[in-house]
C-alpha cells in the first residue's frame, strides 16, 4: 500500500479507497456474476502485443538474469543464460533485421566482455573459484570473444560513448513500459489495461529522465521503475474514479456499462500503442530539425539529446563553435591529445585521426609551417606507437601512411629553409608562430627515419619469404632507400657530423649486400642488349663501389663511436668480397684488427662479422685461394651452427638453454630472407676446400701416428660415407663430395671431376656464382694438381722412377706445371726423390726406416705424450694456465692468429692472419 500513498492527492486516494470498499460489497455477487467478472478479466488481459515486444521482453528478462549472476560471480549461471540469450536472439532475427540490433543487447555484450576480461586478469580471484565456475569462465570468455566479432562496430561505438547507449536503452525501456507493466502492476486488470493509455510524455518527466540518466548506469533501472510506478498510479486513479461513478448509478446495469467501457478502452489502448511506436521516429526528426534552439531558449533550458543509435558516429568537434583558431589554441589541443598517449583504453587509431584533423585545421587557418611540422612529428610517432608490442610489426595500411607522412615532412623541410629541427631544442624555446624569426621545432627526423628502417626490417622478418606478399613488401625498399637518400641530402647541409654518420650507415646497410650487376658488366666490357638498357646504364648514377667507398671513408674519418665505424668496416669488407676484390677485402680486415676484440661487440655486430667472414671465405675460394677460404670458413662451419651464427634461423634447443623471452630476442636479430647467404653453397665450398687440403695430407701421412685432422666436419662426412652398407650413386651435395674424395685418394682426377662438376652440382651450387665458368675452370685445375700430389704420395713406394711427360699426360697438365709441383714437394721434404733434368724423370729414394728405427720412433712418441701429460697436471695444480694453453703439442708457443684456428701443430702450424701482417708459410704455400 505504501506506493499508493507516495504520490497523488487526498481526494484521489479517497476515491480509490471508496472504490475498493464498494466493489466487494456489491449485491448479486452470485456464481454467475463471478463468472462474468472472470470473463471481463480475460477480455482485459487479452491485449494485442507485437512480436517485437514479446521477443524484446524475453531478451531483457534473460539479460537481467545474466546481470544478477554477474553480481554474485556465478559463471556457470552466466554461461547457461548466455547460451539461452543467443538462442532467443536467433529466434528474433527477423525483427532485428527490420529494427536493428537493440542497444540494450549491445550494452550487455560489451559489459560482459569487459567483466570477463577483468575476472580473467584477476589471478588471485581465479584461484579461489571452484572448478565449475573456472571452467565456465574460460568457456564463456572464448564464446563471447567469438560472438562479439559479428558486432565489432556496434560494441566499439558503445564503448566510445557508453552514456549515449545507456540513455537509448532507458528510452526504449520507457517506451515499452506499457507491455512490461502487465506483470508488475498490483492492481491486475485495471493497471494492465490502462497502462497503454499513457499520455504523450510532458517536458518535466522528460527532463527528469535525462537528469536521472546522468547519475550513472547503476541508477537507471531504479529511476525507470519509479517513473513507471508514478504513471501507473495516475492512470489507476482515473480508472478507480470511473469505476466508483459507474457503480453508483445502478446495480444491474453496472456490469454491462463497465464491460462496454473496458472494450472501448482496450480498443483505444491498442490504437494508441501502435501510434506511440510510430511517434519516436517523428520526434527524432523534429529534434534533429530544431537542433539546439529549444536548448538555448534560456538559462536552465533542457538540452535535447538525440535518441536512437546513430548509424555513423559523429566525429568529436576539435574546437567549440566560434573559437578563434590560433597557435596557442592548437598547441593546447595537441597537448590534450598527446596526454592520452600510452594510457590504458586509449584508442590509438582515433588519436591518429584527431592529429590528422588538427593538421588540416592548422593548414586551413594558415597557422604557419612550424606548428604543422610539430603535428607531423607527432602523427608519425603515433603511427609507430600503434603497435605497443616490440615484436609486432606494422600493418600494411599503417606502413603506407607512415611512408606518406615522412615524405610530406621531408617535402616541407626541403621547401622551407627557415625551419630548425633538433632534439636539443627545449619545448619552452620553440618558435612555432609566424614571425620574422625562423621556426624552431623540437624533434629529430633522423630518429623517425631510423625507426622506419627498423619497422621495414620487422615487416620483412615477419612475412613468409616464399609468398608473393614478401615480393610486394620488398618493392617498398626502393621507397625506403629514396627517403634515406633525401634525408641524407638534407643532413649534409644542416645536420651534425654524428647525424651524417648515422644516416650514412643506414644507406650502407641497404647497399653492402647487393651485387652490382651493371658495374660487373661494365668491368667485363659488356654492354646492354638493347638500346633502352644502354640508355638506362648511362643515366644511372655512380657504381655501388664508389658510393660505398665515399660513405665508409667519411665514417672512418669523422665517427666517434666505435660501433658505427665497426659496422661500416665490416660492410665495406663484405662489399669488396662480394665483388671478388679479394686483396682489398683481406687487407682491410687485417688492418682493422676486428678479429681481436669482436667477441666484446653486441650480437647484431657479431652476426655481421660472421657474415663478412663467410663472404670473405667464398671470395677466396672463387679466386683459387683454397687454404685462405678454408681458414675463413673454419670457425663458422666447425661449430655446426652456421644457420644461427649468420642470423638466418634458430636451431631447435632445449628450453633449459633458451627460454621463451630469449627466443623472442633472437628472432628479432634475424636477417631478412633476401639478405641470406646460401647455406648449401657455403657448406659445399667448405667441404671442397677441405677435400683439396685433406686428401693430399692424408696420403702423405698415412702411417704417421701424429697425424692431425685439418677439418673434423670433412672427416665426419667421410666416416658417414664409409658406414653405409650399400653405396649407390651420390644424390646430395655431401655425397658428391665424399665420392669425389674417394676418387681423389686413388689419384683418379677424372672421376673426381665428374662428381664435383655435373648438372646436379651446377644447379645446386656452381651456377649461383656470378662468374660460373671461371670458378669451374679453377676447380678443375685444383683437382688436377691435388690429384697429382696425392698420386705421388700414394704410389711413390711402387716406382723407382717416373717420367714427367707420363704424369703430364695422365693429369692433363703442362710439363712446367708438373715440374713446379714436384719441385715444391721435394723442397718441402714431402717427397723423397730427385729430378733428373736431362731425362725429365723423377727418381725415387728408398728411405723406409728399419724395424729398430720404427720401435725407436714409437718410444719417442710415447715419451713425448707422457711429458705433455705431466706438464698438464703440473700446470693445473699450480694454477698457471697461460703457459700451457697457448702452446701447441710440439711445445712451441702458438702465435695469436686472426681468424686462424690452432690445429695443434699439424698442417697449419704457425701460419695465419697475424697482427703484424699477412704471413704466408713458404714451406706450405700454394703449389
pLDDT band at 537 (very low <50, low <70, confident <90, very high): low
CA 666 to each of CA 391, 597, 645, 647, 715: distance values in angstroms, whole numbers, following the listed order: 11, 22, 11, 8, 32
- For residue 37, how many other CB atoms are within 10 A of its CB? 16
Query: Residues 12, 14, 17, 19: is their CA dihedral positive or negative?
Result: negative
Average pLDDT value for residue range 26-45: 45
Q: Is the pLDDT of residue 209 over 70?
A: no
pLDDT at 923: 40
Mean pLDDT in residue range 547-552: 93
For all residues of the chain together, what is the average pLDDT? 75
Per-residue confidence (pLDDT) for residue 468, from 0 to 100: 93
- Flag the least confident range among 59-73, 109-123, 306-320, 396-410: 306-320
- More confident position, 628 or 531: 628
pLDDT value at residue 340: 81
Pick from 44-48, 145-149, 649-653, 851-855 the range whose average pLDDT is largest.
145-149
pLDDT at 161: 81
Task: Say yes or no to pLDDT of 50 above 70.
Answer: yes
pLDDT at 24 over 60: no
Give the range with max mean pLDDT: 263-272, 277-286, 687-696: 687-696
Rounded average pLDDT over 775-782 = 93
pLDDT at position 508 is 95
For 839, residues 6+ apart whose C-beta sits below 8 A from its C-beta are 803
Beta bridge partners of 835: 842
Helix (H) or strand (E) holding 575: helix 562-578
Residue whose entry in the numeric block shows the C-alpha cell 633502352: 532
What's the confidence (pLDDT) of residue 123? 81
The length of the chain is 927
SS (H, E, C) 450-508: HHHHHHHHHHHHCCCCCCHHHHHHHCHHHHHHHHHHHHHHHHHHHCCHHHHHHHHHHHH
Q: Rounded CA gap, 697 and 707, in Å?
A: 9
Alpha-carbon gap, residue 814 to 828, rounded angstroms: 22
Between residues 282 and 426, which one has the greater pLDDT?
Answer: 426
DSSP at 435: S
User: Any long-range contacts for 660-666 (C-beta under 8 Å, 24+ apart)?
Assistant: 664/391
Question: Which residues are within 8 A (CB) of 192 and not within 5 positions of it... i.e. 6 or more apart?
Answer: 44, 45, 47, 181, 182, 185
Report the candidate in 446, 453, 456, 464 with the shortest Cα–Cα distance to residue 410.
446
Report the SS3 class of residue 173.
helix
Residue 478, pLDDT score? 92
Predicted local confidence at residue 796, as pLDDT: 85
**pLDDT at position 682:** 94
Give the chain's largest Cα–Cα span.
161
Of 456, 452, 449, the residue nearest 500 (C-alpha): 449
**Environment class of residue 40 by beta-carbon count within 10 Å: exposed (0-12), middle (13-18) or buried (19+)?**
middle
* Bridge partners, residue 431, by sequence: 440
- pLDDT score recorded for residue 198: 42
pLDDT at 96: 85
What pLDDT score was predicted for residue 438?
80
Lowest average pLDDT, out of 113-127, 202-216, 267-281, 670-684, goes to: 202-216
Segment among 21-25, 134-138, 493-497, 681-685 with least mean pLDDT:
21-25
Cβ within 8 Å of residue 558, ≥6 positions away: 497, 500, 501
841-862 in b/e form (b: 16+ CB < 10 A) is: bbebeeeeeeeeeeeeeeeeee
Percent of the chain with pLDDT over 90: 31
pLDDT confidence bin for 528, thresholds 50/70/90: low
> Quick one: how many helices (H) and strands (E) in the chain?
44, 7
Amino acid 51: pLDDT? 81
pLDDT tens profile 599-643: 899 999 999 999 999 999 999 999 999 999 999 999 999 888 899
User: Which residues, including other chains, have CB under 8 Å from residue 362's CB and lie 6 or more apart?
Assistant: 325, 330, 371, 372, 375
Task: Yes or no: say if 424 and 381 are a contact pair by the CB < 8 Å rule.
Answer: no
Residue-wise pLDDT tens digits, 86-105: 988 888 888 888 888 888 88
d(CA 155, CA 630): 64
Pick from 106-115, 158-167, 793-802, 897-906: least confident: 897-906
Taking 60 as the threshold, does the pLDDT of residue 539 lie above it? no
Band of the pLDDT at 848, cuts 50, 70, 90?
A: low
- pLDDT over 70 at 259, yes or no: no
What per-residue confidence (pLDDT) applies to 241?
A: 42
Cβ–Cβ < 8 Å for 471, 673: no
Report helix, strand or coil for 439.
Answer: strand
pLDDT band at 307 (very low <50, low <70, confident <90, very high): low
Residues 649-673: pLDDT tens digits? Answer: 888 765 556 777 888 888 888 999 9
* pLDDT for 159: 84
Mean pLDDT of 546-555: 93
What gap in Å lies between CA 408 and CA 414, rounded to an integer? Answer: 10
Residue 839 has pLDDT above 60, yes or no: yes
Separation CA 874–CA 881 (nearest Å): 10
Poorest-confidence range of 16-25, 88-97, 264-273, 467-476? 16-25
Amino acid at each position: 500500500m505504501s506506493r499508493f500513498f507516495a504520490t497523488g492527492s487526498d481526494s484521489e486516494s479517497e476515491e480509490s479507497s471508496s472504490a475498493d470498499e464498494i466493489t466487494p460489497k456489491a449485491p448479486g455477487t452470485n456464481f454467475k456474476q463471478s463468472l462474468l467478472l472472470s470473463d471481463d478479466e480475460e477480455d482485459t488481459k487479452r491485449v494485442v502485443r507485437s512480436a517485437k515486444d514479446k521477443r524484446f521482453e524475453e531478451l531483457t528478462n534473460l539479460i537481467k538474469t545474466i546481470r544478477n549472476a554477474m553480481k554474485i560471480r556465478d559463471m556457470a549461471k552466466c554461461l547457461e543464460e548466455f547460451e539461452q540469450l543467443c538462442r532467443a536472439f536467433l529466434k528474433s532475427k527477423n525483427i532485428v533485421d527490420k529494427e536493428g540490433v537493440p542497444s540494450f543487447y549491445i550494452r550487455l555484450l560489451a559489459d560482459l566482455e569487459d567483466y570477463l576480461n577483468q575476472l580473467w586478469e584477476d589471478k588471485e580471484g581465479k584461484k579461489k573459484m571452484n572448478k565449475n565456475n573456472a571452467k565456465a569462465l574460460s568457456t564463456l570468455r572464448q564464446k563471447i570473444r567469438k560472438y562479439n566479432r559479428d558486432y565489432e562496430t556496434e560494441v566499439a561505438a558503445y564503448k566510445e560513448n557508453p552514456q549515449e547507449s545507456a540513455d537509448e536503452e532507458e528510452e526504449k525501456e520507457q517506451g515499452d513500459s506499457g507491455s512490461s507493466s502487465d506483470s508488475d502492476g498490483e492492481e491486475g486488470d485495471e493497471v494492465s489495461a490502462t497502462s497503454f493509455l499513457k499520455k504523450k510524455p510532458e517536458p518535466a518527466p522528460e527532463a527528469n529522465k535525462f537528469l536521472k540518466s546522468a547519475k550513472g548506469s547503476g541508477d537507471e533501472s531504479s529511476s525507470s521503475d519509479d517513473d513507471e510506478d508514478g504513471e501507473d498510479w495516475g492512470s489507476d486513479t482515473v480508472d478507480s474514479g470511473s469505476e466508483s461513478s459507474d457503480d453508483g448509478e445502478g446495480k444491474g446495469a453496472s456490469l454491462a456499462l463497465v464491460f462496454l467501457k473496458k472494450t472501448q478502452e482496450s480498443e483505444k489502448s491498442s490504437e494508441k500503442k501502435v501510434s506511440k511506436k510510430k511517434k519516436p521516429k517523428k520526434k527524432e526528426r523534429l529534434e534533429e530539425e530544431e537542433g539546439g534552439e529549444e536548448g538555448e531558449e534560456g538559462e536552465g533550458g533542457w538540452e535535447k539529446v538525440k535518441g536512437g543509435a546513430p548509424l555513423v558516429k559523429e566525429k568529436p568537434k576539435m574546437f567549440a563553435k566560434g573559437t578563434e583558431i590560433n597557435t596557442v589554441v592548437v598547441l593546447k589541443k595537441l597537448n590534450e591529445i598527446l596526454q592520452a598517449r600510452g594510457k590504458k583504453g586509449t584508442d590509438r587509431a582515433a588519436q591518429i585521426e584527431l592529429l590528422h584533423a588538427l593538421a588540416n585545421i592548422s593548414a586551413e587557418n594558415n597557422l604557419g609551417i612550424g606548428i604543422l611540422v610539430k603535428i607531423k612529428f607527432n602523427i608519425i610517432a603515433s603511427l609507430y606507437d600503434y603497435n605497443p608490442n616490440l615484436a609486432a610489426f606494422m600493418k600494411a595500411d599503417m606502413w603506407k601512411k607512415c611512408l606518406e607522412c615522412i615524405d610530406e615532412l621531408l617535402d616541407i623541410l626541403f621547401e622551407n629553409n627557415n625551419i630548425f629541427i633538433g632534439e636539443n631544442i627545449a619545448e619552452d624555446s620553440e618558435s612555432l608562430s609566424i614571425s620574422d624569426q625562423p621556426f624552431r621545432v623540437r624533434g629529430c627526423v633522423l630518429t623517425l627515419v631510423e625507426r622506419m628502417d627498423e619497422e621495414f626490417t620487422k615487416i620483412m622478418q615477419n612475412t613468409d619469404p616464399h609468398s608473393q606478399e614478401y615480393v610486394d613488401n620488398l618493392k617498398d625498399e626502393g621507397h625506403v632507400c629514396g627517403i634515406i637518400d633525401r634525408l641524407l641530402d638534407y643532413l649534409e647541409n644542416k645536420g651534425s657530423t654524428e647525424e651524417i654518420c648515422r644516416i650514412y650507415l643506414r644507406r650502407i646497410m641497404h647497399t653492402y649486400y647487393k651485387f652490382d650487376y651493371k658495374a660487373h658488366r661494365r668491368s667485363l666490357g659488356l654492354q646492354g642488349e638493347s638500346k633502352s638498357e644502354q640508355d638506362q646504364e648511362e643515366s644511372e648514377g655512380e657504381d655501388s663501389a664508389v658510393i660505398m667507398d665515399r660513405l665508409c671513408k667519411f665514417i672512418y674519418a669523422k665517427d666517434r663511436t666505435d660501433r658505427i665505424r665497426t659496422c661500416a668496416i665490416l660492410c665495406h669488407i663484405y662489399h669488396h668480397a662480394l665483388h671478388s676484390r679479394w686483396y682489398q677485402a683481406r687487407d682491410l680486415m687485417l688492418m682493422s684488427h676486428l678479429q681481436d676484440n669482436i667477441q666484446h661487440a653486441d650480437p647484431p655486430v657479431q652476426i655481421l662479422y660472421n657474415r663478412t667472414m663467410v663472404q670473405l671465405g667464398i671470395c677466396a675460394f672463387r679466386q683459387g685461394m683454397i687454404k685462405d677460404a678454408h681458414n675463413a670458413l673454419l670457425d663458422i662451419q666447425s661449430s655446426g651452427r652456421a644457420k644461427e651464427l649468420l642470423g638466418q634461423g634458430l636451431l631447435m634447443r632445449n628450453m633449459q638453454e633458451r627460454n621463451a623471452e630469449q627466443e623472442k630476442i633472437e628472432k628479432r636479430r634475424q636477417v631478412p630472407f633476401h639478405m641470406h647467404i646460401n647455406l648449401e653453397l657455403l657448406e659445399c665450398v667448405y667441404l671442397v676446400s677441405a677435400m683439396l687440403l685433406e686428401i693430399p695430407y692424408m696420403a702423405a701421412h698415412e702411417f704417421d701416428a701424429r697425424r692431425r685432422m685439418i677439418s673434423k666436419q670433412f672427416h665426419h662426412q667421410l666416416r658417414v660415407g664409409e658406414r653405409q652398407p650399400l653405396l649407390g650413386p651420390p644424390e646430395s651435395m655431401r655425397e658428391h663430395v665424399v665420392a669425389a674424395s674417394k676418387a681423389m685418394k686413388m689419384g683418379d682426377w677424372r672421376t673426381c671431376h665428374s662428381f664435383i662438376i655435373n648438372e646436379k652440382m651446377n644447379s645446386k651450387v656452381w651456377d649461383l656464382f656470378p662468374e660460373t665458368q671461371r670458378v669451374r675452370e679453377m676447380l678443375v685445375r685444383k683437382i688436377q694438381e691435388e690429384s697429382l700430389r696425392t698420386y705421388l704420395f700414394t704410389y711413390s713406394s711402387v716406382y723407382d722412377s717416373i717420367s714427367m711427360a707420363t704424369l703430364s699426360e695422365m693429369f692433363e697438365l703442362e710439363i712446367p706445371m708438373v715440374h713446379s709441383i714436384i719441385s715444391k714437394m721435394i723442397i718441402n721434404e714431402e717427397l723423397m726423390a730427385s729430378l733428373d733434368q736431362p731425362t725429365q724423370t723423377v727418381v725415387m729414394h728408398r728411405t723406409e726406416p728399419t724395424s729398430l728405427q720404427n720401435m725407436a720412433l714409437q718410444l719417442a712418441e710415447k715419451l713425448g705424450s707422457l711429458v705433455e701429460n705431466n706438464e698438464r697436471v703440473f700446470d693445473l695444480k699450480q694454477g698457471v694456465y697461460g703457459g700451457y694453453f697457448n702452446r701447441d703439442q710440439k711445445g712451441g708457443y702458438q702465435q695469436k692468429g686472426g681468424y686462424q684456428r690452432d690445429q695443434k701443430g699439424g698442417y697449419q702450424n704457425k701460419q695465419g692472419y697475424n697482427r703484424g701482417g699477412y704471413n704466408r708459410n713458404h714451406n706450405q704455400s700454394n703449389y
